[in-house]
Amino acid sequence: YYLQFSVAGNYLIIKLLRSIFSYSKTNKFTEIHNHWVFVKMIPMKNHLIDNVLLILLAFEYLLFGLWGLVDPIALSNMIGFTFNEITSFSEFRAQYTFFTALGVLSVIAIFRNELQIRTYFILALLNGSFVIGRTLGIFLDGMPDQTLWTIFAVDLAVFLLCFWRYR
């Protein structure tokens, strides 16, 4: 990835990039030359644990993503969600299209090591935001039923696993 910056802004941007990329062992701030900043992404080594985790994530996101696209009413009934308007169907299908895309990304990341770190980051970000939203829901809306607790536990587990593999 190559980014061009002005001379005056180089110091602040370099400092920002160093702080961002120093948190990940797989990213390395490597070169500054003639107003160009070069950031090298070092692919993760393909470990058995990554293959197994990515297969499970691909299965989860492809299964639920495609299910939500093909039969949104059946899936929504399972989680206690009802549709009031056509817009509800559109929003539900849009969300589950994203889940399907995450499943495809997980499958590709199994074979392309350079995508694994990004895949883990995206899944950790998504599931972390779900955990925060569901936690707020507990405080603002009251205690959920068993189904939502199960979904919360899965979101938390996926967040922790992806965050662990991202680090």
Q: Give residue-wise pLDDT tens across range 45-64.
A: 668 889 999 999 999 999 99
Q: Give residue-wise pLDDT tens across range 125-160.
A: 999 999 999 999 999 999 988 888 999 999 999 999
Closest by Cα among 53, 56, 62 to 161: 53
Confidence of residue 26 (pLDDT cuts 50, 70, 90): very low
Q: Can you tell me the distance from the alpha carbon of 117 to that of 154, in angstroms, rounded to the nearest whole number?
A: 20
Residue that wins the pLDDT comparison between 20 and 74 = 74
Instruction: Identify the pLDDT of residue 166.
Output: 85
Buried (b) or exposed (e) across 57-91, using 16+ Cβ within 10 A? bbebbbebbbbbbeebeebbeeeeeeeeeeeeeee
